[in-house]
Amino acid sequence: MTGSIVTCPNCGTRNRIAARGDGVPRCANCHEPLPWIVEADPAGFDAELETSVPVVVDLWAPWCGPCRWIAPVVEDFARSHAGQVKLVKLDIDTAPQIAARYEVRGIPLLLVLVDGQEVDRLAGAPPRPDLEAWLQRQLGARAEAGA
């Protein structure tokens, strides 16, 4: 995987972000944390999970209406919590083995992984306030654990 191109919300500089296990991506120009949103493919999926911050995995499919509804909410969360969370999006139609590994029974499905281990999941498309509250609780629980 060659990496994603992310525009810095602070200064507008375009930055290339590669999969990495330590630290968080920062703007090459102003050094502010960048939103870490990655469209993973099956070959690079496991490498994207090796991070020093919690990972929210969005398991979705292009034909799924509720998946398209929650995507902007989850992406907005990742942008507003740059440096604190990584969002990895995976089209399960291209990755049936990964869907089977996480026992996906329905989509959309959000997984929260810390140190590569699943700590919580949310299936379906709850109302925006409920989804945002769930995402915020995931970061709160991680902070209380001393991360």
Which residues are marked as active site?
A: 64, 67
Residue 14 lies in a domain: no
Residue 106 lies in a domain: yes
CATH for 78: 3.40.30.10
Residue 21 lies in a domain: no
- Tens digit of each residue's pLDDT (9 = 90 or more) over 101-126: 999 999 999 999 998 899 999 999 99
Amino acid, res. 57: V
Token output for 118: 């699943």
Residue 8 lies in a domain: no
- Tens digit of each residue's pLDDT (9 = 90 or more) over 49-89: 988 899 999 999 999 999 999 999 999 999 999 999 999 99
Q: How far apart are CA 118 and CA 111, in angstroms?
A: 7
The total of structural domains in the chain comes to 1
Residue 26 lies in a domain: no
Helix or strand or coil: residue 74?
Answer: helix
Q: How far apart are CA 113 and CA 121, in angstroms?
A: 9
Residue 108 lies in a domain: yes
Residue 25 lies in a domain: no
Can you give the pTM of this predicted structure? 0.88
What's the whole-number mean pLDDT along residues 17-44?
87
